[in-house]
């Protein structure tokens, strides 16, 4: 167990170290997320204010789109350096490798969200911080669910052709529940009469999704990543 | 064994499809929707077959992923292709009926959305197999597995979001006159599905044999 946790941390630390030196994925993902928010603002802002539930939708679409970009780039880096093979040869359990990669991507996405969420709150007059704890829970579980599926798919697509387009094609239909739960949960907190029980229901749905999908991902990572 | 059963089964299926219109014609009219409701025999039967195809593909994928048996992969890809085609039938007949029954072509309700998502997942599976390059069979198997696990979540989440489509509980409460034709149609569809699945798996088998022969020739 100790060895397992150490291996997970080593993989994560490696990714974070590379990222800290170049900041490539963090900066490109962050600015892509901001561009998403900008583009969607043109569609959903009337007379200076966002229509209906637009803020919740825009926030989650920005997270999903930029998350896809980050996932693709994180594994593209491994492919260019031929380092994924080295990771697979390394004497560590495949699940540890998966969890390490997942943790690295989660930290990266969390860093992006720290900037994007307050910005959305500011630009769309959305009260995202009135129920800060619930909102934090929705963001955390939603991002974990999205990244859990995304890490597995991005990893297995490393060796596939046309991986750039395949990742979103595979990822979006499967993460539909995350998007719905994230958007509806956030919208429940943003509407005029805040619906806390509804947001809680969506949060518990996200927790169930995370548990099921991380379990299946851990289970399938080994057979999928074996040559 | 499949060969000996295949021809009689094909004849029975053809006869059932030929007779189905007469049974549907004889079934009573639904009180509010009238003639339009007749599409139900086609739509709901195709829907049930879609679930059968999805289950075949999902089970095949799971077996292939963990046992690496080639026949399991053939089952998975055949099931996925059929799911894609039958899904198209369901997604075309559904809006045709909805336009008359609800007044709109499409509603973002639980069943419609989850069917659409499932259909998209099986098409993503086929796209990955076609354009993913070598080794994509195993990757696609993982996609099918995730797709299967996803269906309850999609259904639940959209159900909370909004719902319009009649529940499955409609079927046991069908009028006696409708029940016979309905199950007749379901059986006809399932038989057709089984036949096409057998042919499709056979094709995949031949293809694998041909590949082996080519490889043997090159050695």
User: Best of A148, A156, A203 to disrupt the B interface by mutation (most B CBs within 10 Å)?
Assistant: A156
**Most distant CA atoms of chain B, gap in Å:** 70
Give the model's pLDDT for residue B45. 86
Nearest residue of B to residue A214, measured between CA atoms: B146
Residue A113 has pLDDT above 90, yes or no: yes
Is residue A223 within 8 angstroms of chain B, CB to CB? yes
Q: Which residues pair with A45 in a beta bridge?
A: A50
Give the model's pLDDT for residue A104. 93
In a domain, B31, yes or no: no
Is residue A155 within 8 angstroms of chain B, CB to CB? no
Is residue B133 within 8 angstroms of chain A, CB to CB? yes
Q: Which residue has the tokens 């200076």?
A: A48
Q: Do B153 and A209 touch (CB under 8 A)?
A: yes
Is residue A218 within 8 angstroms of chain B, CB to CB? no
Is residue B58 within 8 angstroms of chain A, CB to CB? no
In a domain, B29, yes or no: no
In a domain, B10, yes or no: yes
Give the model's pLDDT for residue B1. 44
- Tell me the nearest-neighbour CA distance from B80 into chain A, angstroms: 14
Q: Do A180 and B157 touch (CB under 8 A)?
A: yes
In a domain, B33, yes or no: no
Is residue B76 within 8 angstroms of chain A, CB to CB? no
ipTM over 0.90: no
Is residue A153 within 8 angstroms of chain B, CB to CB? yes
pTM for the model: 0.82
Per-residue tens of pLDDT for chain B, all 219 residues: 456 778 888 888 888 888 888 777 777 777 666 677 777 788 888 888 888 888 899 899 999 988 888 889 899 999 999 999 999 998 888 888 888 777 888 877 777 888 888 899 999 999 988 888 777 888 888 888 888 887 777 777 766 765 555 655 566 666 777 777 778 888 888 888 888 888 888 888 888 889 889 888 887
In a domain, B189, yes or no: yes
- Tell me how many domains chain B contains: 1
Domain of B164, in residue numbers: 2-19+39-218
In a domain, B26, yes or no: no
Domain of A208, in residue numbers: 2-225
Nearest residue of A to residue B138, measured between CA atoms: A224
In a domain, B24, yes or no: no
pLDDT digits (tens, 9 = 90+) for A19-51: 889 888 999 999 999 999 888 888 887 777 777
Cα separation, B125 vs A174, whole angstroms: 11
| CB < 8 Å to A209, chain B | 153
- Tell me how many domains chain A contains: 1
Cα separation values, B115 from A138, B48, B87, B121, B158, Å: 26, 11, 8, 10, 11
Q: Do B117 and A176 touch (CB under 8 A)?
A: yes
Query: Chain-centre distance of CA B26, in angstroms?
Result: 27
Report how far apart the first and last C-alpha atoms of chain B are (Å, whole number): 34
Q: Do A174 and B147 touch (CB under 8 A)?
A: yes
**Comparing C-alpha atoms, which of B199, B201, B196 is closest to residue B70?**
B201
């Amino acid at each position: 167990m100790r060895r397992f946790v150490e291996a997970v941390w080593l993989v994560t630390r490696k990714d974070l170290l590379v990222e800290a030196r170049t900041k490539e994925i963090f900066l490109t993902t962050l600015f892509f997320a901001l561009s998403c928010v900008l583009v969607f603002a043109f569609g959903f802002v009337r007379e200076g204010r966002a229509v209906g539930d637009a803020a919740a939708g825009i926030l989650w679409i920005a997270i999903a789109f930029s998350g896809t970009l980050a996932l693709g780039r994180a594994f593209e880096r491994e492919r260019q350096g031929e380092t994924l093979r080295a990771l697979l040869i390394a004497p560590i359990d495949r699940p540890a490798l998966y969890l390490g990669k997942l943790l690295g991507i989660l930290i990266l996405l969390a860093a992006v969200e720290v900037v994007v969420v307050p910005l959305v709150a500011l630009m769309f007059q959305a009260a995202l911080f009135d129920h800060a704890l619930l909102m934090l829970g929705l963001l955390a579980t939603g991002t974990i669910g999205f990244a859990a599926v995304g890490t597995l798919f991005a990893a297995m697509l490393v060796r596939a052709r046309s991986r750039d387009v395949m990742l979103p094609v595979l990822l979006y239909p499967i993460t539909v529940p995350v998007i719905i739960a994230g958007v509806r949960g956030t919208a429940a907190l943003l509407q005029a009469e805040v619906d806390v029980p509804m947001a809680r229901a969506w949060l518990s749905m996200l927790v169930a999704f995370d548990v099921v999908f991380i379990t299946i991902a851990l289970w399938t990572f080994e057979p999928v990543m074996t040559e | 064994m499949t060969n000996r059963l295949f021809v009689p089964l094909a004849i029975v299926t053809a006869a059932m499809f030929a007779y189905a219109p007469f049974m549907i014609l004889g079934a009573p009219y639904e009180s509010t929707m009238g003639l339009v409701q007749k599409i139900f025999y086609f739509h709901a039967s195709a829907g049930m077959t879609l679930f059968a195809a999805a289950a075949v593909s999902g089970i095949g994928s799971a077996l292939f992923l963990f046992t690496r048996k080639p026949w399991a992969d053939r089952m998975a890809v055949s099931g996925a292709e059929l799911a894609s085609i039958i899904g198209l039938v369901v997604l075309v007949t559904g809006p045709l009926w909805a336009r008359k029954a609800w007044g709109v072509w499409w509603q973002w309700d639980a069943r419609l959305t989850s069917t659409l998502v499932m259909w998209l997942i099986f098409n993503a599976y086929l796209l990955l197999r076609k354009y993913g390059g070598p080794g994509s069979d195993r990757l696609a198997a993982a996609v099918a597995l995730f797709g299967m696990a996803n269906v309850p979540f999609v259904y639940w989440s959209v159900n909370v979001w909004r719902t319009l489509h009649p529940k499955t509980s409609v079927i046991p409460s069908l009028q006696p006159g409708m029940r016979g034709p309905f199950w007749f149609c379901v059986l006809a569809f399932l038989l057709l599905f089984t036949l096409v699945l057998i042919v499709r798996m056979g094709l995949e088998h031949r293809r694998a044999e041909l590949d082996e022969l080519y490889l043997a020739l090159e050695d």
